[in-house]
Amino acid sequence: MNRTVLWIVFVIAAAAQGASPYAGTQYPPELRPLKHEGRAAHLAAELLARYHYKGIAVNSAFSEKIFDEYVKSLDSEKLFFVQDDIDRLHGYRTRLGDAVLKEDLSVPFAIFNLYRRRATERFAFARSLLGKGFDFQKIESYQYAREKAAWPKTESEMRELWRKRVKNDWLRLKLAAKDDKSIIEILGKRYDNFLKRIRRVKSEDAFQTFMNAYTTAIEPHTNYMGPRAAVEFDISMRLSLVGIGAVLAEKDDYTTIRELVPGGPAARSGQLKIGDRILAVAQGEGGAMTDILGWPLGDSVGLIRGAPNTVVVLDVLPAGVGPDSKRNRVSLVRKKISLEARAAKASVRSVGDGKAIGRVGVISLPSFYEDFAARRRGDPNYRSASRDVQRLLDKFKADKIDSVLIDLRNNGGGSLAEAIALTGLFIDKGPVVQQRNASGEINVESDTQAGLAWDGPLGVLINGGSASASEIFAAAIQDYGRGVIIGEPSFGKGTVQTVVDLDRVAKTGKPQFGELKMTVAQFFRINGGTTQLRGVQPDILFPARFDAKSSGESRFDNALPWAQVKTADYSPAGDLKDRLSTLSALHRARVSTDKDFLTLQEDIAEFRRQREKDRISLNEAERRRERDAQEARLRSRKSQPHPGDYADAAGGEHAPVKDVALQDDGLQPNERNLAKELAAEKVRKNAKDILLNEALNILGDEVELLRTGARLASRVKPESLQVPQ
């Protein structure tokens, strides 16, 4: 380490030690970069410079972007650093890129250590306020949305910000009918848990945070994944893992069973149930037990998973008993677990009324998954989204379904090959998407399989969470005139990523470098446009809770621009223009009198109004008036709650309103009783899905239109026959 870097680290450490708000703060031990992390960072930087779609020059300007992304990732709401910290760090803005190339991560780690110290101070200060109480008659407010706020100038200003933050936490619980003793207990445990999490952070966590700042400084969808994150990504793509078949959660320092996977070793054993807590884990019969109480969930999961057909032994504290109660020793043989909850699912819904009843087959697709490894080794039964959907379509045809709806809401994408294959199920051979690489070369990716799995009426339901591969599929279906696109404008991600195994490149022999997800191309629709920034615009538009500027691709400062290339050589499968005019008019007429849809629109308007605010009152009387008005509005409804029924809990989360108080309970997810949490999830799952129901109505209209032709169109007033723009 040279003298300059030594001086930098010394200055940061000195600043941290000199700024402690009070004596007695217990700081976590400082983290230091591991040797292989510097090598991994350098290798990633070289690959990015050579192969990334967007040209990269590692200079002072790029280093400043890295710095800004890094600080934002550590303290996006400006709750930890003060302006003096930022001023002290300013001299390092232009040096972070050079630190990577020199494999010297001392400065990034020193910044991370300063963040940990500041976070420790803030939560320790929050903890110290609980014995003092608050004056809730005072007229003051708390600014909870702080991303665009200025850094607190002084420690005194930061303490005042945290006083209000804690006061808001207290008031939320007070409004939820908690007494002072319970509030002190809940918040004390909450802040202690934050302090524990800060202390449990490891070098690999700091490294991944910094490397993601480096990669996202280039553009939003280039990411670094450490070894553990890489494993989780691979699991999400192949929809399988080797383990015991239990969904685990961290609850009060316990690794707790949240769900048992049907048919998995845990469920078949009959020895485990929801709410059981795993205290220790051993590898094999007679293996030494490792105590995992208080461990991060990822570390506990890493011990419980393993190779297929091996034995894992669990020391289990049964659900509902005290910590000193008798434990159970459970031995399980690890097996391959299929994650069916994340796979394509089908249902059949009846639509229409009277004699004109149609049946729509709905396929919900959470992601474009594909088992890459199984496909590479030639496994004829490898798992993929398009294969699963084809099986479901075959069943729909056997059941003589009238129409199919593909629900891609919140499908963030996945395999490009799967997007092409899925499109091929609904078109005969032809181009699906165009790709332009960093050299400007354009390749047309096509479906080469003759024939269609489904040639009947088709709808695609999308929203602002539908991205990447979802947009490729929806855009192709729209350009071919093959189906009706319904819903909200999609996310607007028009870039293609490839995943590079850094260990394979470096030939390390063992997983330690992680993986790099790197943007290598931009994709374009076959009509020549791109979904980048603009997304896919539905043929029939639904109201959206979020606008593109706050939740889509356009919110990123360094997103790639919109562009256009030549149209690919393709022939539309149909022309839906006239049909869309009628369907749009029927949709507008129906929702104008549909009570549930009108209520949803009111909820969305209220949600957007709340989002425009960045602060909330800390006066109890005022907050009670606001809460009572909201409860009165919600109680006036006779219909059951639906996805539009959300209370925007400032400083908290968006909670379903069907609760004791119909409002914010003041708790965070890991603080709620597991049984109540699962019951609330069941309520949400079974709630009326108004947008899906209307999409089904639209497809029902289409089925009737195709059956009756002009008779249905004649029911629509001529002036309403307008395609929404």
Q: Write down the catalytic residue from 479, 503, 645, 665.
A: 479
> What CA–CA distance (Å, rounded) separates 141 from 149?
15
Residue in 415, 468, 470, 554 annotated catalytic: 468
Instruction: Tell me if residue 470 is catalytic.
Output: no
Q: Tell me the residue type at 126.
A: A
Structure tokens at 22: 């009070």
Q: Is 182 a catalytic residue?
A: no
Tokens of 90: 């300013």
Contact status, residue 666 vs residue 175, Cβ threshold 8 Å: yes
How far apart (Å, rounded) are the C-alpha atoms in residues 577 and 584? 11
Residues in the chain: 725
Cα-to-chain-centroid distance, residue 213:
18
How far apart CA 213 and CA 69 sit, in angstroms, is 5
399 as an active site residue: the answer is no
Contact 177, 7 (CB under 8 A): no
Strands 223-225 and 515-524, sheet pairing: antiparallel
HEC readout, 64-78: HHHHHHHHHHHCCCC
Phi and psi angles of residue 377, each rounded to the nearest 5 degrees, phi first: -85, 5
**Residue with structure tokens 């002290």?**
88
Say how far apart CA 415 and CA 711 lie, in whole Å: 43
Residue with tokens 């005019």: 581
The DSSP call for residue 666 is S
Considering only CA atoms, which of 226, 205, 233, 213 is closest in space to residue 296? 205
Cα–Cα nearest to 528, from 580, 586, 476, 489: 476
Q: Which stretch of DSSP H or E encloses residue 205?
A: helix 203-216
Residue 453 vs residues 49, 66, 394: alpha-carbon distances, Å:
42, 47, 7
> Could you tell me which residues come within 8 angstroms of residue 635 by beta carbon, excluding any fewer than 6 positions away?
662
Q: Which amino acid is at 586?
A: L
Q: Which of 530, 539, 442 is nearest to 482 (CA)?
A: 539
What is the C-alpha to C-alpha distance for residues 35 and 20, in angstroms, rounded to an integer?
31
Contacts of 725 by beta carbon, 8 Å cutoff, 6+ apart = none
Q: Positive or negative CA dihedral for 487, 492, 495, 501?
A: negative
* H helix or E strand, kind and range, residue 646: strand 646-648
DSSP 144: -
Q: How far apart are the first and last CA of the chain?
A: 61
**How far, in Å, CA of 351 to CA of 364, rounded?**
18
DSSP code, position 462: E
Instruction: Dump the DSSP string for 365-425.
Output: ---B-B-HHHHHTT-TT--BHHHHHHHHHHHHHHTT-SEEEEE-TT---B-HHHHHHHHHT
The answer to whether the CB of 684 falls within 8 A of the CB of 678 is no
Over 552-572, what HEC string results? CHHHCCCCCCCCCCCCCCCCC
Give kind and range of the element (H or E) at residue 263. none
Among 493, 503, 554, 665, the one annotated catalytic: 493
Beta-strand relationship, 403-407 and 358-364: parallel
| Residue 309 near residue 333, CB atoms below 8 Å | yes
The DSSP call for residue 316 is E
Task: Name which of 354, 372, 478 is nearest 417 in CA terms.
Answer: 372
Tokens representing residue 175 in the block = 């409004």
Write out the catalytic residue numbers. 468, 479, 493
